[in-house]
Amino acid sequence: MANLEKHSYFWVFCLFSVKPQKPLMVMEYWSGWFDTWGEHHHVFHAEDMLAVVAEILERGVSINLYMFHGGTNFGFVNGAMDFGTYKPQVTSYDYDAPLSEAGDCTIKYHLLRNLFSQYHSEPLPEVPLPQERVAYQTVLTQQHISLWDSLQFTDKPYQSERPVNMENLPVNDNNGQSSGYTLYETTISRGGTLSSQNNIRDRALVFVDGQFVGCLDYKCHEVTLPEAEAHRTLALLVENCGRVNYGKALDNQRKGIVGDIVLNHTPLRGFTTFCLDLKPSFIKRLSNSCQWKTDSQSPSVPGFLQARLCVDGPPKDTFIKLPGWGKGVVFVNEQNLGRYWIIGPQHFLYLPGPWLRRGENQITVFEEQKTDGKIVFSENPDHGKTIDVYKMPFCTLL
């Protein structure tokens, strides 16, 4: 029996051996699996799934499908898994479910519907017609503002001798920062080896006087800083990539910088910290500012870029694609749509029609690495390369 099937039946038969007269139910039968950045999109083939579900029902066991309808980790609400290696989940929670993230009836849905109809005495209702989707015309970014110029629209920065983690910052009525980015700045007078000592949660872009010099994360703990004689500003833009919701590392989930950062074996001191949780209030202040640049020069990254999408008629569902971009977050009419990252597997963001309005719509993108200024729309998603969940090691499913 395949790994996924073993997991599905195991607890049911354990219960049956203890209480044979009690009703049985598979409480969480996986229709697919979630995706993590940098890996493949997980699929569970419809025919394989149908055979297992049919056997469960034939044995008189009830079943709950997880997921029956795929979803979306809008904004910063994606989780992460950790079985010794931290892996943040992507924005899409399509899960290869019978009903897709956008509400499409998949082959899985129709096969399951036919199977379930055998256990129903009356004909099932008609399947609803699919929602109409639109591939809007490609739009170009028209304005841009660097991250450094945008800091004036954040709350007052916090001064501290040592770095303070995200949750303990005196922001949001002293409730701390829960998600997004945090920018830490300090002054250095020399170059050398900058070591995170694994105190970055979860990923930091490192800048010296606004120039990118490297990235620190769970795999890379050191960056070499260039030598110079004058005092310079060292900045670390730290991203909370998502808290662990599956795995062994469910405790101690502080984010930001959680301990000392060391330059040539000496801990850095004297930090100025900016909260960049990118809430709608910040995006609104930023959008209404007069600091945006419209010149033809390449926009400074990291930074914010803005475009306008004109919708004629009632808004329809669509998918945003950013093929020439690197990594960042998309905001539609000041609401956080979610994260994107060139490493995939996800190469789209699902944009529901209700997020749009007839007429002009504002699209703001926070980009960390690179951009070609083009925002593309499609009627269909692009989940990237796929892998069958049957090929996953059994230990990762428990």
Reported as a single tens digit per residue, the pLDDT across 105-141 is: 999 999 999 999 999 999 999 999 998 999 999 999 9
Tell me the three state secondary structure of residue 61.
coil
Taking only the tens place, the pLDDT of each residue in 343-352 is 999 999 999 9
Taking only the tens place, the pLDDT of each residue in 154-179 is 999 999 999 999 999 999 999 999 99
Predicted TM-score (pTM) of this structure:
0.94
Phi-psi region of 333 (alpha: psi -120 to 50; beta: other; left: phi over 0): left
* Residue 395, pLDDT above cutoff 90: no
Task: Tell me the C-alpha distance between 238 and 210, whole Å.
Answer: 15
Span 201-224, mean pLDDT?
98
| CB half-sphere exposure, 122, CA atoms < 13 A | 3
pLDDT of the residue at 300: 92
Taking only the tens place, the pLDDT of each residue in 43-101 is 999 999 999 999 999 989 999 999 999 999 999 999 999 999 999 999 999 999 999 99
12, containing H or E segment? helix 3-18
Phi, psi of 42 (to 5 degrees): -85, 135
Architecture of the structural domain at 294-378 = Sandwich (2.60)
pLDDT of the residue at 2: 44
CATH code linked to domain 155-276: 2.60.120.260
pLDDT bracket for residue 295 (50, 70, 90): confident
Under 8 Å CB-to-CB from 185, ≥6 apart: which residues?
Answer: 233, 234, 235, 236, 271, 272, 273, 274
Taking only the tens place, the pLDDT of each residue in 213-263 is 999 999 999 999 999 889 999 999 999 999 999 888 888 899 999 999 999
pLDDT of the residue at 398: 43
pLDDT of the residue at 117: 96
Q: Can 155-276 and 294-378 be said to share one CATH topology?
A: yes
pLDDT of the residue at 196: 98
In this structure, what DSSP letter does residue 99 have?
B
- Residue 336 in contact with residue 381, Cβ under 8 Å? no
Share of the chain above pLDDT 70, in %: 94
* Every domain of the chain and the residues it spans: 3-130, 155-276, 294-378
In this structure, what DSSP letter does residue 385 have?
S
Average pLDDT, the chain: 93
Q: How many residues does the chain have?
A: 398
Burial class (CB in 10 A: 0-12, 13-18, 19+), 125: exposed
Query: Strand pairing partners for 351?
Result: 318
* Residue 6, pLDDT above cutoff 90: no
pLDDT bracket for residue 358 (50, 70, 90): very high
Return the structure tokens found at 232: 């310079």
Taking only the tens place, the pLDDT of each residue in 83-97 is 999 999 999 999 999
Nearest Cα to Cα of residue 96 among 362, 395, 390, 306:
390
pLDDT bracket for residue 20 (50, 70, 90): confident
- Residue 238 in contact with residue 257, Cβ under 8 Å? yes
Tell me the three state secondary structure of residue 375.
strand
Task: Tell me the C-alpha distance between 282 and 288, whole Å.
Answer: 10
pLDDT of the residue at 397: 47
pLDDT bracket for residue 12 (50, 70, 90): low
- DSSP for 66-89, please give it: ETSB-EE--TT---EEESSSEEEB
| Residue that the structure tokens 């904004």 belong to | 75
pLDDT bracket for residue 200 (50, 70, 90): very high
Question: In one letter, which amino acid is 137?
Answer: Q
Task: Tell me the C-alpha distance between 277 and 125, whole Å.
Answer: 45
Query: Strand pairing partners for 36?
Result: 89
Task: Tell me the C-alpha distance between 84 and 338, whole Å.
Answer: 26
* Residue 13, pLDDT above cutoff 80: no
